[in-house]
Amino acid sequence: MGKPLFHGVIPPISTVFNEDYRLDQVGMGKLIDYLIENGVNGLFFLGTGGEFSQLLLQERKEIAEFAVEYVNHRVPVLIGTGSTSTHEAVELSQHSEKIGADGIVVINPYYMKLSEDNLYRHYQEVCDAVALPILLYNFPAFTGQDLTPDFVLRAVKEHPNIVGIKETVDSVGHIKEMILTVKEKFPDFLVFSGFDDHFLQNLSLGGDGAISSSVNFAPHLAVGLYDAFTGGDLTKAVHIHRQLAILSRLYQLDQPFTNVIKEATKLCGIGINTAVLPPGRPLEQKKKKELLRTLEKASLSLRT
């Protein structure tokens, strides 16, 4: 049996902007090419690191269209279509299907907490609106509401186009329960870790890969860990895991952390514009120095 369409290392790619906050197609293309050349297994556009929550509806569609066309089937493309509005999530999901995306990633509505039944109906409407494969996106620190293993199991039972989940959670125990609860009954259900320091544990527990922001600037680490683990070289996998654990500190350097990822990408030699959308701001010089120290500690090759 071959690997599923979505597996391994799928970076939540940064959206590259010009200084006027418009999509920088040249810079975006440069980052896409770099990641594909370094062996990623797919690309996820318009996730948290893609600054989807600060974009207008039409801007999200524009970026999705550019992504699908530019990638041109070189790797699978996932588009983030989550929204606080069910109608908008449906519209974006249908748009992604129309333009030829390979799948969508749907974070649960944030700001207002929903009853479990209303949350379920939200996902039900999205699932019923498209035939595309859907990854759920669980990020309770940002949404304020956890997608529990029992909730996910119910959704997967009734909606076969839900094929997996991105688990951006603090506890690896949550990932373990997701795997034991859902994958036990649906072995093809995909579980991706969101934080760098959970990647190896996720694979060890039977998970399927990582969707982590550090892949934007250090794809060789995550790709190397995945290849080492699947190839049976656990010593190498543990060595890389220790490097990734150092990088996990970067997410606390500033909030939102999108500026940190872009500055790290530039420091690692990919010449992109580091502009971020307000309310994000340029990374302060003091924090840039701390970023540099962390990257050096992780033994990354830098251009300063």
Structure confidence at residue 123 (pLDDT): 98
**In the predicted structure, residue 1 carries a pLDDT above the cut 60:** no
- Tell me the one-letter amino acid at 115: S
CA of 219: how far to CAs of 45, 53, 104, in Å? 16, 25, 22
Going by their DSSP bridges, the two strands 162-167 and 190-193 should be labelled as: parallel
Structure confidence at residue 264 (pLDDT): 98
**In the predicted structure, residue 187 carries a pLDDT above the cut 70:** yes
> Exposed, middle or buried by CB within 10 Å (0-12, 13-18, 19+), for 224?
buried
**In the predicted structure, residue 180 carries a pLDDT above the cut 80:** yes
Structure confidence at residue 236 (pLDDT): 98
> Exposed, middle or buried by CB within 10 Å (0-12, 13-18, 19+), for 260?
buried
The tokens of 18 are what? 């010009």
**In the predicted structure, residue 2 carries a pLDDT above the cut 90:** no
pLDDT band at 29 (very low <50, low <70, confident <90, very high): very high
Domain residue spans in the chain? 8-242
DSSP string, 105-172: EEEPP-SS---HHHHHHHHHHHHHH--S-EEEEE-HHHHS----HHHHHHHHHH-TTEEEEEE--S-H
**In the predicted structure, residue 281 carries a pLDDT above the cut 80:** yes
Please identify every residue annotated as catalytic. Answer: 48, 111, 137, 166
Contacts 24+ apart (CB under 8 A), 236-239: 237/200, 237/203, 238/200
Structure confidence at residue 168 (pLDDT): 98
pLDDT in tens, 198-257: 999 999 999 999 999 999 999 999 999 999 999 999 999 999 999 999 999 999 999 999
CA of 114: how far to CAs of 44, 85, 140, 183, 185, in Å? 26, 12, 13, 26, 27
Residues in the chain, total: 304
- Topology annotation, domain 8-242: TIM Barrel (3.20.20)
pLDDT band at 283 (very low <50, low <70, confident <90, very high): very high
Rounded Cα distance between 275 and 273, Å, is 6
As a whole number, mean pLDDT of residues 18-40 equals: 98
pLDDT band at 301 (very low <50, low <70, confident <90, very high): confident
pLDDT in tens, 50-103: 999 999 999 999 999 999 999 999 999 999 999 999 999 999 999 999 999 999
Element (H, E) at 44: strand 43-45
Q: Which of 101, 168, 157, 87 lies closest to 129, judged by CA? A: 87
What is the rounded average pLDDT for all residues in the chain? Answer: 97
Name every residue whose Cβ is closer than 8 Å to that of residue 257 and which is 6 or more positions away in sequence: 49, 213, 250, 251
3-state secondary structure (DSSP) of residue 186: coil
As a whole number, mean pLDDT of residues 11-39 equals: 98
Structure confidence at residue 304 (pLDDT): 64
As a whole number, mean pLDDT of residues 26-54 equals: 98
CA of 153: how far to CAs of 56, 178, 181, 226, in Å? 32, 9, 7, 26
Cis peptide before 149 (omega within 30 of 0): no
Name every residue whose Cβ is closer than 8 Å to that of residue 284 and which is 6 or more positions away in sequence: 254
The tokens of 134 are what? 């859907």
Whole-prediction pTM:
0.97
As a whole number, mean pLDDT of residues 157-169 equals: 98
- Tell me the one-letter amino acid at 195: F
Element (H, E) at 266: helix 258-267
pLDDT band at 303 (very low <50, low <70, confident <90, very high): confident
User: What percentage of residues in the chain have a pLDDT greater than 70?
Assistant: 99
